[in-house]
């Protein structure tokens, strides 16, 4: 034995072979894990913060669009566009309730950037000249038919006391969209001057609740607009690396140091339609703090990995050095098929356990092979039962159908004749189906069926129950009750209850099978519940979509109508002709809103959209277009032209997109829509044309792709139609699409001579 304990012996070599590689692997794992933690933490946090900051910046811009839309609505009123200071003051006074988000007041500037009108909160600003401020010349360059690039600029000191405010500027245009001045909404940056946070600060407060670290907003000059660490508004922040990057319009994240020298991860993103930038800083030390605890634990594990394996291996090797020839020979005999083998158990404790284990293994192998066929047959029966149950529960998403099928299959598998199936409803069991007992009895038993014990099937003797529980079961002749809970994700979906004969007890295999059935049926019931929940969510999502469509399409028109209706009594008394003009405008707005509502109702019913005559659809589009854009729309359409539903919907969408483009981009005074046959294009050809007298554009220019022309071409190609766009700067635009029936695909038209104009 001395050769096994010497430094070069087998025992020493085994210990070295076991411990040293383990230590190398553990050390390498600790180093790799630490390095990976640093890398992954940095990459994940930077990616997360970059996307989070970009999202928060987008939410900030979206949140500010509501007060900007209110400001724009005031700028669109006739009083504001009149250029008369008295009427402009009247417009601001009427809209002061909607403009409360601008706590610093709202003013209207004339072309020379002199304050011509102010709301009642800031009368002292009237007469001031703001031509030296950069935002004044920018207002004239804004084009109402195109997206506003910057409606919020940099911090300025305005008013007699030089208060720091954030101006929001939109142009005011008079007749023929001529620039006559601008409307400026002011938000205070000093919260001490206001009773409650304005719209800007309210948005930032809500966003800080969902972000970690330090969050602040800077303007285009790198000055603080809003903060969360007490820094004064207007203070220079260009010392931050992230601020320098966001001033260049970049979005990203970077590992750097703050002004105090601490390592941080700074993410930044510009705020759309403003000159601002949003910056978030997160302390790197706080992010990596868990690594210190992990390092101490790793060192402890490394020490244990050195001492424990060496000790265990050294101890275990004491009983390994007995001759193994007997074990080898016996193992070979077992491999040859002689499973009943036994070797003598030595008196030495070091190998006695091994010999006993070998003898036990040999006997167990013999027993296993002996009972293998019976176990295979039993398992086959279990799998067949589970497959039948799976087939039953997968045929339907109705919970009651699932429970009926599961009860029948389980009764058949267990050879039982009486059973009940219940579903769970707010903590109580409701009868679904029964077998072998009357329905009245089964319903009565629902009150006493709550004999479940966790998630596992259980069997109870009625005699072991309390008298209050035992009597109802004994009255119907049940002496032994088997209950199978149906649960999924720790949620009770129902239960199966069976009457067991008094002389029979379920085996462990039966209980295991019942548990599997309970889980399978419970999961199917949970899927049925989730399917119902998904259906309800889909209904709710469709309702939300309808609400958004109503808000986007009708709210602006109704808001303008509300403003006109509010000032109409005063105008009627002062200037009856002007009042009649506003009344006509109010009628046009309400007619447009009604047309928008009809269009939305058609959108909700695709079948109605496909069945409605094309001329009626075009008339509704024109009415909605006139009410929304205040541009005259003339319609000339033949009646009764039969077009397949797919082609009709595609042509309707093209007309809808073309009118939207005319409203947003053309600056036109009139739009003409024609619909009728075009024999020169081929037999059965029908042409749809939308033309305006606006500013026009170059169809080959890059920006033309942003006007929906690509989508219109795709829609036309999908139904075999040809689309042509003709336009030039200053010469208006014309969109013409010609559809012809495809042989064997589209139904031929029915000719007619009727024509509708509008």
Dist CA 231 CA 216 (whole Å): 9
- pLDDT for 57-90, tens place per residue? 888 888 888 888 888 899 899 988 988 999 989 9
Structure tokens at 558: 């109704």
- Which of 228-242, 344-358, 556-570, 729-743 is predicted most confidently? 729-743
Query: What band does 245 get if pLDDT is binned at 50, 70 and 90?
Result: confident
Strand 179-188 and strand 163-173: the pairing is antiparallel
The contacts of residue 197 (CB under 8 Å, 6+ apart) are 191, 205
pLDDT at 702 over 60: no
Mean pLDDT along residues 147-168: 78
What is the share, in percent, of the chain residues with pLDDT greater than 90?
Answer: 11
Task: Report, as an integer, the average pLDDT of 433-437.
Answer: 80
| Alpha-helical runs (H) found in 449-507 | 467-475
Cα 362 to chain centroid, rounded: 61
Confidence of residue 738 (pLDDT cuts 50, 70, 90): very high
Give the span between the Cα atoms of 207 and 209, in whole angstroms.
5
- State which of 21-25, 165-169, 356-360, 546-550 shows the largest mean pLDDT: 165-169
Any idea which residue has 């419970």 for tokens? 522
The two structure tokens encoding residue 222: 């790198």
The band of 452, judged by pLDDT with boundaries at 50, 70 and 90, is low
Residue 464 carries which DSSP code? Answer: G
The pLDDT of residue 636 is 92
Whether pLDDT at 662 is above 70: yes
Please report the pLDDT score of residue 306 as a whole number: 66
CA distances from 114 to 78, 139, 206, 644 (A): 20, 13, 36, 60
What does the pLDDT read at residue 651?
92
Whether residue 469 is predicted with pLDDT greater than 70 in this model: the reply is no
Whether the per-residue pLDDT at 671 is higher than 90: the answer is yes
What is the average pLDDT score of the chain? 77
Range among 134-138, 590-594, 616-620 rated most confident = 616-620
Q: What is the pLDDT of residue 757?
A: 46
Q: Is 583 helix (H, G, I), strand (E, B) or coil?
A: helix
Does 388 score more than 70 pLDDT?
yes
* Mean pLDDT confidence for 259-265: 80
Residue 423 belongs to what H/E stretch?
Answer: strand 419-425
Pick 476 or 8 by higher pLDDT: 476
Among the ranges given (133-137, 190-194, 333-337), the one the predictor scored with the smallest mean pLDDT: 190-194
Task: Say which residue, 388 or 697, is predicted with more confidence.
Answer: 697
Residue 751 confidence (pLDDT)? 39
The one-character DSSP state at 126 is T
Whole-number Å distance between alpha carbons of 664 and 147: 9
Average pLDDT for 447-458? 62
What is the average per-residue pLDDT within 178-195? 81
- Taking only the tens place, the pLDDT of each residue in 505-525 is 777 777 777 778 877 787 877
- Please report, rounded to a whole number, the percentage of residues in the chain having pLDDT higher than 70: 72
Query: Whole-model pTM?
Result: 0.39
> Quick one: pLDDT at residue 382?
66
pLDDT tier at 673 (50, 70, 90 boundaries)?
Answer: very high
For residue 3, name the pLDDT band (cuts at 50, 70, 90): very low
The answer to which of 560-564, 565-569, 615-619 has the lowest mean pLDDT is: 560-564
Q: For residues 453-462, give the mean pLDDT.
A: 71
| Lowest-pLDDT range of 41-50, 349-358, 718-727 | 349-358
Query: Which residue's entry shows tokens 């260049």?
Result: 248
Gap between the Cα atoms of 545 and 300, Å rounded:
58
Tokens of 729: 């700067």
Q: Is 45's pLDDT higher than 90?
A: no
| Ranges 34-38, 78-82, 441-445, 545-549, most confident | 78-82
**Eight-state DSSP code of residue 223:** B
The dihedrals phi and psi of 321, each to the nearest 5 degrees, come to -90, 15
pLDDT for the residue numbered 529? 74
Mean pLDDT of 100-109: 88
Task: Quick: pLDDT tens for 194-221.
Answer: 666 777 777 777 776 666 677 788 888 8
Distance (Å, rounded) from C-alpha 129 to C-alpha 57?
33
The answer to whether residue 570 scores a pLDDT higher than 90 is no
User: Lowest-confidence range among 29-38, 98-107, 430-439?
Assistant: 29-38
Q: Going by C-beta distance under 8 Å and a sequence separation of 6 or more, which residues neighbour residue 717?
A: 723
Higher-confidence residue: 423 or 324?
423
Confidence at residue 4, expressed as pLDDT on a 0 to 100 scale: 44
């Amino acid at each position: 034995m001395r050769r096994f304990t010497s430094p070069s012996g087998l025992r020493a070599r085994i210990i070295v072979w076991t411990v040293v590689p383990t230590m190398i692997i553990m050390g390498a794992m600790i180093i790799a894990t630490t390095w990976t933690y640093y890398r992954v933490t940095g990459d994940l946090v930077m990616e997360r913060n970059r996307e989070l900051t970009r999202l928060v910046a987008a939410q900030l811009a979206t949140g500010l669009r509501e007060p900007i839309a209110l400001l724009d609505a005031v700028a669109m009123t006739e009083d504001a566009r009149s250029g008369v200071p008295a009427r402009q003051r009247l417009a601001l006074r009427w809209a002061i309730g909607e403009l409360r988000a601008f706590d610093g007041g709202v003013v209207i500037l004339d072309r020379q950037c002199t304050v011509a009108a102010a709301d009642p909160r800031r009368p002292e600003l009237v007469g001031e000249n703001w031509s030296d401020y950069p935002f004044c010349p920018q207002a004239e360059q804004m084009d109402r038919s195109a997206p506003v690039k910057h409606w919020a600029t940099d911090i300025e000191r305005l008013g007699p006391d030089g208060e720091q405010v954030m101006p929001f500027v939109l142009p005011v245009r008079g007749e023929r969209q001529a620039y006559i001045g601008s409307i400026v909404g002011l938000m205070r940056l000093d919260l001490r001057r206001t009773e409650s946070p304005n719209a800007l600060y309210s948005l930032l407060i809500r966003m800080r609740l969902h972000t970690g670290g330090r969050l602040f907003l800077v303007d285009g000059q790198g000055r603080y607009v809003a903060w969360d660490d007490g820094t004064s508004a207007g203070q220079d922040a260009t010392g931050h690396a992230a601020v320098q990057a966001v001033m260049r319009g970049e979005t990203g994240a970077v590992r750097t140091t703050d002004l105090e020298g601490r390592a941080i991860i700074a993410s930044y993103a510009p705020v759309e339609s403003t000159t601002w930038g949003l910056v978030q800083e997160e302390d790197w030390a706080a992010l990596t703090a868990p690594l210190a605890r992990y390092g101490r634990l790793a060192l402890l594990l490394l020490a244990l990995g050195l001492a424990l394996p060496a000790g265990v291996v050294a101890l275990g090797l004491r009983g390994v050095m007995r001759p193994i020839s007997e074990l080898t020979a016996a193992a070979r005999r077992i491999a040859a098929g002689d499973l009943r083998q036994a070797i003598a158990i030595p008196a030495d404790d070091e190998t006695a356990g091994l010999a006993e284990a070998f003898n036990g293994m040999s006997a167990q192998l013999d027993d296993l092979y002996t009972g293998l066929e019976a176990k295979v047959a039993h398992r086959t029966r279990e799998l067949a039962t589970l497959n039948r149950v799976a087939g039953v529960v997968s045929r339907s998403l109705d919970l009651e159908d699932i429970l009926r099928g599961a009860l029948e299959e389980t009764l058949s598998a267990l050879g039982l004749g009486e059973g009940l199936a219940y579903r769970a409803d707010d903590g109580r069991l409701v009868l679904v189906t029964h077998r072998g007992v009357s329905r009245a009895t089964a319903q009565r038993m629902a009150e006493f069926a709550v004999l479940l014990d966790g998630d596992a099937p259980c069997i109870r003797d009625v005699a072991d129950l309390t008298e209050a529980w035992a009597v109802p079961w004994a009255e119907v002749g049940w002496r032994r009750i088997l209950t199978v809970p149906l649960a999924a994700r720790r949620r009770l979906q129902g239960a199966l209850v069976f009457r067991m004969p008094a002389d029979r007890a379920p085996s462990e295999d039966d209980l295991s099978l019942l548990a599997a059935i309970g889980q399978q049926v419970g999961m199917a019931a949970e899927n049925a519940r989730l399917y119902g929940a998904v259906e309800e969510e889909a209904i709710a999502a469709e309702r939300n979509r309808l609400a958004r469509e109503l808000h986007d399409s009708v709210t602006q028109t109704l808001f303008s109508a509300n403003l006109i209706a509010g000032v109409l009594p005063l105008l009627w008394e002062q200037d009856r002709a002007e009042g009649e003009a506003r009344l006509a405008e109010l009628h046009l707005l309400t007619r447009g809103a009604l047309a928008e509502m009809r269009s939305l109702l058609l959108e909700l019913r695709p079948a109605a959209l496909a069945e409605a005559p094309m001329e009626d659809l075009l008339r509704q589009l024109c009415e909605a277009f006139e009410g929304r854009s205040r541009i005259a729309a003339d319609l000339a359409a033949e009646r009764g032209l039969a077009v397949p539903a797919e082609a009709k919907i595609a042509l309707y969408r093209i007309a809808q997109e073309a009118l939207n483009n005319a409203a947003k981009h053309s600056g036109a005074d009139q739009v003409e829509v024609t619909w009728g046959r075009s024999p020169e294009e081929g037999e059965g050809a029908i042409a749809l044309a939308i033309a305006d007298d606006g500013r026009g554009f170059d169809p080959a220019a890059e920006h033309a792709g942003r006007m929906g022309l690509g989508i219109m071409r795709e829609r036309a190609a999908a139904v075999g139609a040809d689309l042509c766009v003709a336009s030039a700067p200053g010469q208006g635009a014309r969109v013409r699409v010609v559809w012809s029936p495809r042989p064997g695909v589209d139904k031929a038209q029915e000719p007619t001579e009727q024509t509708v104009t509008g």
